[in-house]
């Protein structure tokens, strides 16, 4: 198999430009999470490297399945990651995949990359949906009976932050101390 290094470098440059726009100009400007922005770029670049290697060399299917089986061992379950972060991570994966398979038609590649970028920019824009914030918090003196009363929990959260409560998720309840750890979504 003959490798066209110019095409590989061009694909790398296209991928790098689009992931930087995606991670830093869209995600980081809106969410100010440096670690996640760097994670998006690194995950994308690693995946791009794997895909470009698989498509430009005689990398057989068994090796590819073994590689993705090893990657599937990596789990994000131990990290508290929001739904928006998961969506952005899938966007970074998508960019790495579509840029790594060497489409050859650079107009189609630019259009597909632009769709991912545009979707993130529009859907996660503050003018489409009003901004909100997720806050991890602990409420004290909450009985198991009170925990079932959503109106009561929402009012306690509202009393603390004086912001409308969009929802909350109970993370952990301690019966002995009667405390509840939760993540609250508040409208700014």
Return the ∠ at Cα 68 (arms to 64 and 69), rounded to 5°. Answer: 115
Residue 39, classified by CB atoms within 10 Å of its CB into exposed (0-12), middle (13-18) or buried (19+), is: buried
CA distance 90 to 95: 9
Q: Kindly tell me if the per-residue pLDDT of 4 is higher than 90.
A: no
pTM for this model (two decimals)? 0.68
Phi, psi for 78 (deg, rounded to 5): -80, -10
Judged by average pLDDT, the poorest of 34-48, 122-136, 158-172 is 122-136
**Partners of 184 in the β-ladder:** 135, 168
Q: Give, to the nearest 10 degrees, the angle between helix 34-56 and helix 61-73.
A: 160
Q: Give, to the nearest 10 degrees, the angle between helix 5-20 and helix 34-56.
A: 160
Sheet holding 179-187, edge to edge: 132-139, 179-187, 165-174
Q: Residue length, the chain?
A: 188
**Partners of 136 in the β-ladder:** 183
Return the ∠ at Cα 83 (arms to 82 and 89), rounded to 5°. Answer: 90
Phi, psi for 179 (deg, rounded to 5): -120, 150
Judged by average pLDDT, the poorest of 16-25, 43-52, 55-64, 103-112 is 55-64
Judged by average pLDDT, the poorest of 22-36, 72-86, 111-125, 162-176 is 72-86
Question: CB-side exposure of 119: number of CA atoms within 13 Å?
Answer: 14
Phi, psi for 76 (deg, rounded to 5): -100, 10
Residue 15 has a pLDDT of: 95
- Map out the domains of the chain as residue ranges: 5-123, 132-187
For residue range 62-121, what is the model confidence (pLDDT) as tens digits?
A: 666 666 666 666 555 556 777 888 899 999 989 998 998 877 788 999 999 999 999 999
For residue range 143-161, what is the model confidence (pLDDT) as tens digits?
A: 989 989 999 999 999 999 9
Q: With contact defined as beta carbons under 8 Å apart, do 158 and 187 qualify?
A: no
Q: For 53-57, what is the mean pLDDT?
A: 77
How does strand 132-139 pair with strand 179-187?
A: antiparallel
Q: With contact defined as beta carbons under 8 Å apart, do 94 and 47 qualify?
A: no
């Amino acid at each position: 198999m003959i490798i066209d290094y110019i095409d590989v470098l061009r694909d790398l440059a296209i991928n790098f430009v689009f992931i930087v726009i995606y991670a830093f100009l869209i995600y980081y400007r809106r969410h100010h999470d440096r670690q996640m922005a760097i994670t998006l770029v690194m995950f994308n670049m690693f995946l791009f490297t794997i895909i470009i290697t698989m498509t430009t060399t005689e990398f057989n299917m068994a090796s590819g399945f073994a590689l993705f089986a090893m990657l599937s061992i990596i789990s994000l379950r131990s990290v508290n990651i929001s739904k928006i972060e998961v969506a952005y991570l899938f966007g970074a994966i998508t960019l790495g995949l579509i840029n790594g398979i060497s489409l050859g038609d650079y107009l189609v590649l630019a259009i597909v990359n632009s769709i991912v970028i545009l979707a993130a920019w529009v859907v996660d824009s503050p003018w489409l949906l009003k901004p909100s914030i997720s806050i991890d918090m602990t409420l004290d003196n909450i009985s198991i009976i009170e925990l079932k009363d959503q109106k009561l929990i929402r009012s306690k959260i509202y009393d603390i932050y004086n912001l409308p409560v969009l929802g909350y998720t109970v993370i952990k309840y301690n019966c002995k101390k009667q405390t509840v750890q939760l993540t609250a979504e508040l409208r700014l």
